[in-house]
Structure 1
Amino acid sequence: MFLLVFFSTNLFGQLNRDQYLKLESALGEGSFFNGHLTGFMLYDLDSQRVLYEKNSHQRFIPASTTKLFTLFSSLIVLNDSTQTLRYVTEGKTIKIWGSGDPSWKYKKFFQPEFREFLATYDKVLFSDANMMSPAFGYGWQWDDYYYNYSAERTSLPIYGNLVQVKKVGNAPTVFPPSFQPDIFPTQRTIRELERDFHSNKFYYNPNNFRAKEEFIPFITSPELFIKLASDATGKNWIYQPDSLPKIHQEWRGAPLFPILKEMMLESDNYLAEQLMLMVSDRLFQRLDTERAIEYMLKTYLYDLPDKPQWVDGSGLSRHDLITPRTMVALFEKIYRMVPDQQLFELLPTGGKSGTLENSYRAEQPYIFAKTGTMSNNHSLVGLIKGKSGKYYCFAFMNSNYPWKASEVRREMEKVMGMLREMI
Structure 2
Amino acid sequence: MSTVLARCATLLWYLLPFSVFAQSSPTPAANPAWLEQLVRESGVLRRHNVGVCLTDVATGQQVFGLNEDRYFTPASTMKLLSLYAGLQLLPDSLPSLHYVQRPDTLLFWGTGDPTLLHGDVPSRRAFTFLQSRPEQLYYAEVPTVTAFGPGWSWDDYNYYFQPERGAFPIYGHTVRFYGKAGQPMPKVLPRFFRPLTQLAPAGTPNPAQDHVRRPELENRFLVLPSTSGWVDETPFRTSTALLLQLLQDTLRRPIRLAPLRLRAQDSIRTLRGLPVDSLYRRMLRVSDNFLAEQVLLMCASALTPDSLSTARTIRAVQSNYLRDLPDAPVWVDGSGLSRLNLITPRALVGLLLKLHQQVPEPRLLSLLAAGGGQGTLRRVYRDARGPWLWGKTGTLTNNHNLVGYVRTKSGRLLAFSFMNNNHVVPTADIRREMERVLTQVREKL
Sort the TM-score into its range (normalised by shorter chain): over 0.9
- Partner AA of 2:116 in structure 1: W
- Partner AA of 1:189 in structure 2: P
The worse-fitting range, judged by mean Cα deviation, of 115-124 and 381-390 is: 115-124
- Partner AA of 2:134 in structure 1: Y
The match for 1:333 is 354
Q: Are 1:289 and 2:302 matched, yes or no?
A: no
The match for 1:125 is 138
TM-score by length of 2: 0.88
The match for 1:99 is 111
- Partner AA of 2:194 in structure 1: Q
Q: Are 1:160 and 2:172 matched, yes or no?
A: yes
SS of structure 2 residue aligned to 1:94: strand
- Of residues 372, 376, 380, the one that matches 1:359 is 380
SS of structure 1 residue aligned to 2:117: coil
- Of residues 244, 249, 274, the one that matches 1:254 is 274
- Of residues 216, 221, 233, the one that matches 1:202 is 221
The worse-fitting range, judged by mean Cα deviation, of 137-146 and 177-186 is: 177-186
The alpha-carbon deviation at position 115 of structure 1 amounts to: 2.9
The match for 2:367 is 346
Q: Are 1:192 and 2:192 matched, yes or no?
A: no
What CA distance in whole angstroms lies between the structure 1 residues aligned with 2:302 and 2:130? Answer: 21
- Partner AA of 1:101 in structure 2: D
SS of structure 1 residue aligned to 2:124: coil
The alpha-carbon deviation at position 211 of structure 1 amounts to: 6.2
- Of residues 221, 228, 232, the one that matches 1:214 is 232
Q: Are 1:401 and 2:423 matched, yes or no?
A: yes
Contact 1:25 1:31 in 2 (8 A): no
C-alpha change, 1:244 and 1:386, in structure 2 (3 Å) is farther
The alpha-carbon deviation at position 153 of structure 1 amounts to: 0.8
- Of residues 159, 172, 193, the one that matches 1:179 is 193
The match for 2:155 is 143
- Partner AA of 2:370 in structure 1: T
SS of structure 2 residue aligned to 1:215: strand
What CA distance in whole angstroms lies between the structure 1 residues aligned with 2:23 and 2:303? Answer: 43
What CA distance in whole angstroms lies between the structure 2 residues aligned with 1:270 and 1:163? Answer: 14
What CA distance in whole angstroms lies between the structure 1 residues aligned with 2:334 and 2:392? Answer: 14
Deviations 1:213-248 (A, max 9, x none): 521100001111011111222221122243456742
Contact 1:135 1:153 in 2 (8 A): yes
Correspondence 1:102-117 to 2 at 5 A = 102-106=114-118, 107-117=120-130
Deviations 1:86-137 (A, max 9, x none): 1122222111110011111112434315334442334211122x23211111
Contact 1:83 1:250 in 2 (8 A): yes
- Partner AA of 1:328 in structure 2: V
What CA distance in whole angstroms lies between the structure 1 residues aligned with 2:228 and 2:308? Answer: 38
The worse-fitting range, judged by mean Cα deviation, of 162-171 and 220-229 is: 162-171
SS of structure 2 residue aligned to 1:10: coil
SS of structure 2 residue aligned to 1:316: coil
Structure 1: unaligned runs, 5 residues or longer: none
Contact 2:178 2:231 in 1 (8 A): no
The match for 1:223 is 241
How high is the sequence identity, in percent, across the aligned residues? 36
Deviations 1:365-419 (A, max 9, x none): 2211111111111111110011112211111011000111111001111100111
The match for 2:55 is 43
What CA distance in whole angstroms lies between the structure 2 residues aligned with 1:6 and 1:252? Answer: 42
Deviations 1:176-201 (A, max 9, x none): 11111111222203341111111001
What CA distance in whole angstroms lies between the structure 2 residues aligned with 1:118 and 1:353? Answer: 36
The match for 1:299 is 320
What CA distance in whole angstroms lies between the structure 2 residues aligned with 1:51 and 1:315? Answer: 27
The number of equivalent residue pairs is: 414
Contact 2:163 2:174 in 1 (8 A): yes
SS of structure 2 residue aligned to 1:320: coil
Contact 1:57 1:325 in 2 (8 A): yes
Structure 2: unaligned runs, 5 residues or longer: 1-18
Deviations 1:16-56 (A, max 9, x none): xxxx1211112115642111000001101112111110000
What CA distance in whole angstroms lies between the structure 2 residues aligned with 1:269 and 1:323? Answer: 21
Contact 1:347 1:369 in 2 (8 A): yes
- Of residues 57, 62, 81, the one that matches 2:93 is 81
C-alpha change, 1:406 and 1:99, in structure 2 (3 Å) is same
Correspondence 1:381-392 to 2 at 5 A = 381-392=403-414
- Partner AA of 1:205 in structure 2: L
The alpha-carbon deviation at position 74 of structure 1 amounts to: 0.4
What CA distance in whole angstroms lies between the structure 1 residues aligned with 2:212 and 2:283? Answer: 25
